[in-house]
Structure 1
Amino acid sequence: MAYPQLAVRVSVMNGEGLWECIGTGQVSTIYIERLESVCLLVQSEMDGSVMLESKIEPETLYRKKQGTIIVWSEAENFRIALTFQDPEGCQEIWEEICQAQGKDPTAEDTRDILDESEQYDDMLETVEPFEPPICELSTITHLANFFNSFFVSPTRKERLALILESGSYIKKLLQLFQICESLDNTEGLHHLHNIVKGILFLDKTPLFEIMFSDECIMDVVGCLENDPALPQPKKHREFMAQSVKFKEIIPIANSELRQKIHQTYRIQYIHDILLPTPSIFEDNLLPSLTNFILFNKIEIVNMLQEDDVYLSEVFARLKDNNTDDEKKCELLLLFKEFCEFSQTLYPQSKDELLKRLVNRGVLCALKILMRMDNFQIKTIATTIFAYLVEYSPCVIRQFAMNEAHEDKDDELLINIVIEQMICDTDPELAGAVNLVEPLRSLLDTETMLVSVYEFERIKFLNFFYKYCINNLAAPLLSSTAKELDDGLDGNKSCPSAVRFMREILRVKDEQYNNYIIQGNLFEPVVNAFLANGARYNILNSAILDLFEYISVQNVKCLVAHVVEKFYKSFESIEYVQTFKNLKIKYEQEKDRLNRAEALHSALYGDSKAMEVEKKKCFFRNISEVVMPPMENIPEGDENFMEAKSTKENEDNTDFAKRTSSGVFLFSSFFSDGAGDGMSSSHSNSVASIVDYPDDNNKEEDEEKTSPSKKPHFSS
């Protein structure tokens, strides 16, 4: 008995393990007397010839896959696959096979079949897909089954994407959506929701180009409104058309730019609102859609920065005193969004963009806005400044150094940033916190250029210490300048300032040492020590450790400076040997030079020349103090700075390698309660004056070679 014939595609596996399509035809099950069995018979649709005649043996293992594929093996390495145009036809033939074998037609899995899923995917790569069904209201259920059969397999998704890339079929689907919506066909709308959502999850850029065009995108949103899981459709199109208004604060003349902005907003809305939240545990990350949005934003940024009028007009209005605060806030929000879009640019492009923005006056505008009393304006301006510093700290540094020749100190960009950070009126210090990281980035020596032609590190640090350091250090200086009283030990500002100074010394940088001597910066430390009197507290421990470090490291210029200027104040101190050791080292150095002088006189008899040489040797480092301050070094004298930098690299460890952040000003080196373990000044044991948790490894070698670093306390 012959059964109705159904359209089918026949594929076989070749000797190389790949599937090959041998043709299409009509399949039926028929009893063949010659074979004495029910067989699968496929006749060519071209000439009616027999393409396949396969006896349905009881022991043959068949498998139905994805609702439209039947696969089996007739011999070793000889496998056959029938691909049906629709699931109904596949099910009909499957039931006939199961009836012939005496098996349950509801079972679709055969345990012993060999890795059919992998071979099936290979087959699909070589088999041309069927043309999708006609987009008509009467075939909408068939359409849903067709698409569902392709959404379940990665390889089939690839084939479906190739079918849809022509563009015409997606437009036909969206026209069918308009028909269903006009007829209020709920079932059809639900089917189209699943179809359109499935197409989006194919995550193919060519399909996005079609679906997100001006012609199609609102119909795509309409399809996604009709989620079968919701009791009522959501009115997203109504919201986008009526509630969301595109406000041109400054008119955009470029129509292509305006269209790109509209498109990007709508795609972002679909991504964020209409599609499920991306998850690494589900197949919905949609990287191509994310990149589509990203490249749209890049195009918008490029169009805006190439417009010589638009951004210049924005900055001009921001600087104009006649622009009211509400308008300035809108302009800032516009530019903030521009900066957020610019985050997607490559580093080199960000650098070029920032240079253009600086030339058009963005930093001059931000200087004015960060000083305004309007909290919202100030906050947005601070956020924008942080974006710009992130783009390229080098460009911001260059601007800051250039304006030093034109503006007053309190009008300099860096000083305004410091002022806003220190004088933040927000109880939560939100503005100060937002400015700390940009300032730290600007001071990060790791990102500063050092080359034969560009000494950015030297130039910028000279600028910063000349024009800005006083403003940054003012709160610390004001805290330590207060009258010392009985509550001094509880005031952590003083010990912290001393510890900070100790960390500066640990950098072992001659310029810092010279700066300390020049400014007589030990004087407030000594005054604090004397005012503290006999109290043995954290301040006492911190100051003793500072001078002990100078003694152990034998920093000659500082040893000479401390002994010559302050030894009389310390001469009566007996409970530690720190100051006596400083005196001893000072005398030993003088004695060494005297003996060198005597030897020179015996050899050459030129005592006058020896005296000159003696002064040069002993006070070599101190003589650095009378040289012009480092901020007065001519910027063009690169030979001098290069020679000095070479010497420092030979003698000292580079500062940038000693701190995790690259700038010591914002690093925390100390723990609270340091020195708390020493409650008595009459201990006979060897004890560290202050415990520095981070010094254990860095100064281990120093402790081995310098046992006097930990002073004995006399009884």
Structure 2
Amino acid sequence: MATEAAADTATNDASASPDSPEGWRVKLYQLNDDGQWDDRGTGKIRVDHAEALGTPCVHVVSEESSRDLVTSRITEDRDAYSLQGESIITWEERRGAQGSLDLALSFQENEGCMQIWHQIQEIQGRLTTGFGNTNIEADGPMPEEWPVGPPPSLPECRLANLDEIHRHLSSATNNREQYAAALLSEDGVYVKTLLDVFSDCEDLEDTANLTIIANIAKSLVLLNDMSLMEYLLTTELYSKVVGCLEYSTDLKHKADHRKSLETAAKFQEVVPMNEIIREKILLNFRATFLKDIVTRPGMDEASTSTLSSFVFFNNSEILSSLHTNCDLLKRVVEELKSQALTNASDSKERNFQSRSGALCFLKEMCNTAKNVQITCRDALFHHLVEETDFFQAITLVLEDADNMPLSERLMSAELLSNAVCWDGAASFRKHVLNSGGHPPIPPSDSKNQGEAGGTDKASSLLWHVVRLITSESDTGVLLHLLDVVKTCLDTEPMEPSERDKFLALFYDHYIKWLVDPVLPNEKDDSDRPVTDTVSVPTSPERMTMQGYVCDLLSSCVRTHTYRMKYFVLGNRIVGRILSLADTDDKFLKLAAIRFVRSIIGVKDDFYNRYLVKNGLLAPLFVLLKTVAHKDCLLTSAIVDMADHIRTENIKALVEHIVEKYSDSFDQVEHVDTFKNLVLKHEQNTESGASLQVSDTNGPPTKEEHRMKVAQEDDDEAYFDTADETVDEAAEAAAQAEEGSTEVDMAEFKPRPTSPPADTSATANTSLGRMFDIESRQSGKDQKQMLGVRKIECLSDWEPGQNSDLNSESNGDSMEAEKRQKLCPND
């Protein structure tokens, strides 16, 4: 009882600091299973008595919701708590059978951290010793009569005592803080003397004692004391500490870390920075090198938890300092812009060195930001993207990509990918829409050959990304740039207005420049809209590029409806991609199969009719014949496609595949997919025959007519607003309906696809008047019929077929002219 009363007295007196009546402001972190610190919120901390627990506790209350973030009972175990630097306290919160949690408090004020630390130490001392009711001030010194025990005694630091020193430090589990304090006393003279002994042993090549000193250095790291760790990382001692650990018995051969530090590790400043940031960066590099390289063979992550925490919180402080009350990041971006604008012929080597340094700085910054709390990361990227000219700088860098070494292209692509993925490409799309400099429509578009020009004036960031995709030979650069395009085309996070503007821009100005140089061209494979500066990659590199572009188009098919449909049907994309199935590259064949699988997966009748009409599935079943005897990935991909068609009962494709390619089925014996597909076709045929018998019993009912018209309306809804010619015709028809102008609607009359039926039975009904092809249709009917004609032209195109509609002998030149406007020669 005396112990608890004394602890309560110290708690009450310590919490009543006049400088912090509401508690000190802190951030609470929790170590996750991946070894990363998760941000649990910001609040105010106090050390007070918890009635529920009956003991003094560390109590943190959220400053946003006033809820308890943590209430942690202060234990007697001094090793459970650790002071890291002057602003961080970490401890292990034991939960009994549920295990334990590693928690950390990061204080806004160093004074608050030290005050809370002294309170915890005082309360632990009273709980341990049962010392009486002495009134202790919160920030006052510890009473001299407090029996905290004598400090541990270390043997004299000399060569003869190395074994005894190692024995003391390796068994310091319960006295880590005391040993660390003893080592740091008198300005760390004990550690300096130990390192001097190491230098003497190394000069004498005393391998036995060097091994003992390596074990002592390892024990110093395992003390996990932050103050001692910071002392070991200083410039004066670090090299010798690393040298000691080179002789560790955990290594098969002696390491040479010091040589690496001297030759390879050179600190370079892209722009001048203040001394505090520079020192933190140096300390972080040394701590990371010590944790990941020097001590890695013999120690796990838990053994070096102090180093991990030191690196994590130091990274957070460094990144915060880059954009808080500091213009360093802005100066780095400006340096990147200025070096990108420098004439390379003036000082090409110096230009690359400076530009490479700026890119490397930003790349390392982004990689470091991945391992800090999300609030810090968001603040950093917001500053980079919104408050600097980052996108303009990276545009200038990519503009010179043809003259850049691979390392700079890779860093530029990775840096852009990180910045774009941060906010789902919202900032990137905004920049592209507002910047201008878009490329013209490619000259391969026959309608616009006279209007299309070169790409000399194209200067947008998206244009340089697309240009590099079609010319890049390195897979790493290619993947980063494709991630940029794929992310910016993801329509799910977009606002409707932004989605329409950006997709219209991409499909009007960019997609053909992305596809035409990559996919085979039916007329002439060399006839591609590429600039003079773009070089054609070698065959394996080109096939890799084609595979990735096919996957990008597959994603567009799934997410972009009518725009992608027009592009696929109007540019013979399916046939051009399926021609890749004839290559020897398995990856490319699978990419072609995935694209067709995406086409079928959207369940669009126009796509299905297009595949059937032009026999576009033939290459896949030719491929199936060649690999059917193997149970390989190609066979599985084709079987999966066929199984999807059967499961969804896409009747047009079921009938087409069974009737045209059934000779390929017998060779696939390890699965029943194709047998079930034939069975499904037979069921559909029987069902269709029964429907035909019922149809002969009488004319279609009004309800059947209504359902058919409604289905056709739904099919054409995709195209009502997508074609300018259709819109003009609809507007003219609407004006005729209102009586505002005289328009001969017979000019828009569709070509009958079957002999006209006897309309006498329905002439007096509204439905009969609607489908009377001799009558004047309303504006809505005209718009639907023109849409049908447009879709018929698109879905009837065959690969390589010239779609000159004037060649059809229908005896109506005016109609042929209108059809030519709707379905021009592609």
Q: TM-score, normalised by structure 1?
A: 0.50
Go from structure 1 to structure 2 and tell me whether the alpha carbon gap of 1:586 and 1:495 turns closer, same or farther (over 3 Å shift): farther
After superposition, what is the alpha-carbon deviation per residue over 1:328-351, rounded to whole angstroms, capped at 9, x for unaligned?
Answer: 223222322222322222234333
Q: Is the 8 A contact 2:288 2:311 kept in 1?
A: yes
Give the Cα–Cα distance (whole angstroms) in 1 for the partners of residues 393 and 360 of structure 2.
14
Give the Cα–Cα distance (whole angstroms) in 1 for the partners of residues 169 and 293 of structure 2.
26
CA positional deviation for 1:583 = 14
Match of 1:629 in 2: 722
Match of 2:191 in 1: 174
Match of 1:247 in 2: 268
The 5 A counterparts of 1:645-656 are: none
Across the two proteins, how many residue pairs are aligned to each other? 470
For the pair 1:449 / 2:493, whether they are aligned, the reply is yes
Match of 2:359 in 1: 332
Match of 2:220 in 1: 199
Match of 1:298 in 2: 316
Q: Is the 8 A contact 1:190 1:227 kept in 2?
A: yes
Go from structure 1 to structure 2 and tell me whether the alpha carbon gap of 1:584 and 1:368 turns closer, same or farther (over 3 Å shift): farther
CA positional deviation for 1:624 = 1.2
Go from structure 1 to structure 2 and tell me whether the alpha carbon gap of 1:478 and 1:200 turns closer, same or farther (over 3 Å shift): same
Give the Cα–Cα distance (whole angstroms) in 2 for the partners of residues 373 and 286 of structure 1.
45
After superposition, what is the alpha-carbon deviation per residue over 1:13-51, rounded to whole angstroms, capped at 9, x for unaligned?
Answer: xxxxxxxxxxxxxxxxxxxxxxxxxxxxxxxxxxxxxxx
Q: Is the 8 A contact 2:334 2:389 kept in 1?
A: no
CA positional deviation for 1:289 = 0.7
For the pair 1:155 / 2:174, whether they are aligned, the reply is yes
Match of 2:414 in 1: 383
The 5 A counterparts of 1:662-673 are: none
After superposition, what is the alpha-carbon deviation per residue over 1:324-382, rounded to whole angstroms, capped at 9, x for unaligned?
Answer: 33332232223222223222222343333223222323233333434333232212212
Match of 1:504 in 2: 598
Give the Cα–Cα distance (whole angstroms) in 1 for the partners of residues 419 and 721 of structure 2.
35
Give the Cα–Cα distance (whole angstroms) in 2 for the partners of residues 389 and 272 of structure 1.
30
Go from structure 1 to structure 2 and tell me whether the alpha carbon gap of 1:585 and 1:442 turns closer, same or farther (over 3 Å shift): farther
CA positional deviation for 1:173 = 1.1
CA positional deviation for 1:133 = 3.8
Go from structure 1 to structure 2 and tell me whether the alpha carbon gap of 1:294 and 1:575 turns closer, same or farther (over 3 Å shift): closer
CA positional deviation for 1:215 = 6.4
Match of 1:402 in 2: 433
After superposition, what is the alpha-carbon deviation per residue over 1:629-654, rounded to whole angstroms, capped at 9, x for unaligned?
Answer: 3999xxxxxxxxxxxxxxxxxxxxxx
Give the Cα–Cα distance (whole angstroms) in 1 for the partners of residues 214 and 624 of structure 2.
78
Match of 1:113 in 2: none
Match of 1:478 in 2: 520
Q: Is the 8 A contact 1:462 1:631 kept in 2?
A: no
Match of 1:36 in 2: none
After superposition, what is the alpha-carbon deviation per residue over 1:621-678, rounded to whole angstroms, capped at 9, x for unaligned?
Answer: 232143223999xxxxxxxxxxxxxxxxxxxxxxxxxxxxxxxxxxxxxxxxxxxxxx
Match of 1:313 in 2: 334
Give the Cα–Cα distance (whole angstroms) in 2 for the partners of residues 440 and 134 of structure 1.
62
Match of 2:307 in 1: 289
Go from structure 1 to structure 2 and tell me whether the alpha carbon gap of 1:468 and 1:489 turns closer, same or farther (over 3 Å shift): closer
Give the Cα–Cα distance (whole angstroms) in 2 for the partners of residues 235 and 537 of structure 1.
59
For the pair 1:256 / 2:284, whether they are aligned, the reply is no
For the pair 1:347 / 2:374, whether they are aligned, the reply is yes
Match of 2:403 in 1: 373
Query: For structure 1, which runs of at least 5 residues remain unmatched after alignment?
Result: 1-123, 601-609, 633-715
Go from structure 1 to structure 2 and tell me whether the alpha carbon gap of 1:414 and 1:554 turns closer, same or farther (over 3 Å shift): farther
Give the Cα–Cα distance (whole angstroms) in 2 for the partners of residues 155 and 407 of structure 1.
68
Go from structure 1 to structure 2 and tell me whether the alpha carbon gap of 1:459 and 1:153 turns closer, same or farther (over 3 Å shift): farther
Match of 2:384 in 1: 357
Q: Is the 8 A contact 1:181 1:189 kept in 2?
A: yes
CA positional deviation for 1:201 = 1.6
Go from structure 1 to structure 2 and tell me whether the alpha carbon gap of 1:159 and 1:182 turns closer, same or farther (over 3 Å shift): closer
Give the Cα–Cα distance (whole angstroms) in 1 for the partners of residues 620 and 248 of structure 2.
76
CA positional deviation for 1:193 = 5.5
CA positional deviation for 1:208 = 1.9
Q: Is the 8 A contact 2:381 2:419 kept in 1?
A: yes
- Secondary structure of 2:403 counterpart: coil
Q: Tell me the amino acid that sits aligned with residue 320 of structure 2.
A: N
Give the Cα–Cα distance (whole angstroms) in 2 for the partners of residues 554 and 228 of structure 1.
68
Q: Is the 8 A contact 2:424 2:493 kept in 1?
A: no
Q: Tell me the amino acid that sits aligned with residue 174 of structure 2.
A: T
After superposition, what is the alpha-carbon deviation per residue over 1:601-623, rounded to whole angstroms, capped at 9, x for unaligned?
Answer: xxxxxxxxx98x56742412232
For the pair 1:526 / 2:620, whether they are aligned, the reply is no
Query: For structure 2, which runs of at least 5 residues remain unmatched after alignment?
Result: 1-126, 130-146, 345-350, 441-457, 526-574, 628-634, 664-677, 726-826
Give the Cα–Cα distance (whole angstroms) in 2 for the partners of residues 200 and 237 of structure 1.
18
Match of 2:812 in 1: none
Go from structure 1 to structure 2 and tell me whether the alpha carbon gap of 1:595 and 1:216 turns closer, same or farther (over 3 Å shift): farther
Give the Cα–Cα distance (whole angstroms) in 2 for the partners of residues 154 and 631 of structure 1.
80
Q: TM-score, normalised by structure 2?
A: 0.44
Match of 1:431 in 2: 477
- Secondary structure of 1:250 counterpart: coil
Q: Is the 8 A contact 1:133 1:142 kept in 2?
A: no
Give the Cα–Cα distance (whole angstroms) in 1 for the partners of residues 640 and 245 of structure 2.
71
After superposition, what is the alpha-carbon deviation per residue over 1:664-702, rounded to whole angstroms, capped at 9, x for unaligned?
Answer: xxxxxxxxxxxxxxxxxxxxxxxxxxxxxxxxxxxxxxx
Match of 1:266 in 2: 286
The 5 A counterparts of 1:70-149 are: 130-133=150-153, 141=160, 145=164, 148-149=167-168
CA positional deviation for 1:222 = 6.8
- Secondary structure of 1:154 counterpart: coil
Q: Is the 8 A contact 1:174 1:219 kept in 2?
A: no
- Structure number with greater Rg is 1
Q: Is the 8 A contact 1:424 1:432 kept in 2?
A: yes
After superposition, what is the alpha-carbon deviation per residue over 1:253-277, rounded to whole angstroms, capped at 9, x for unaligned?
Answer: x121122223223333444554353
Go from structure 1 to structure 2 and tell me whether the alpha carbon gap of 1:140 and 1:349 turns closer, same or farther (over 3 Å shift): same
For the pair 1:422 / 2:422, whether they are aligned, the reply is no
Q: Tell me the amino acid that sits aligned with residue 721 of structure 2.
A: P
Give the Cα–Cα distance (whole angstroms) in 2 for the partners of residues 219 and 213 of structure 1.
11
Go from structure 1 to structure 2 and tell me whether the alpha carbon gap of 1:630 and 1:208 turns closer, same or farther (over 3 Å shift): farther
Give the Cα–Cα distance (whole angstroms) in 1 for the partners of residues 594 and 277 of structure 2.
53
Coordinate RMSD, CA, aligned? 6.0
Give the Cα–Cα distance (whole angstroms) in 1 for the partners of residues 641 and 246 of structure 2.
71
Q: Tell me the amino acid that sits aligned with residue 176 of structure 1.
A: T
Go from structure 1 to structure 2 and tell me whether the alpha carbon gap of 1:132 and 1:582 turns closer, same or farther (over 3 Å shift): same
Identity between Structure 1 and Structure 2 (%):
19
CA positional deviation for 1:286 = 0.8
Q: Is the 8 A contact 1:339 1:384 kept in 2?
A: yes
Go from structure 1 to structure 2 and tell me whether the alpha carbon gap of 1:579 and 1:408 turns closer, same or farther (over 3 Å shift): farther
Go from structure 1 to structure 2 and tell me whether the alpha carbon gap of 1:266 and 1:617 turns closer, same or farther (over 3 Å shift): closer
Give the Cα–Cα distance (whole angstroms) in 2 for the partners of residues 311 and 586 of structure 1.
75
- Secondary structure of 1:173 counterpart: helix
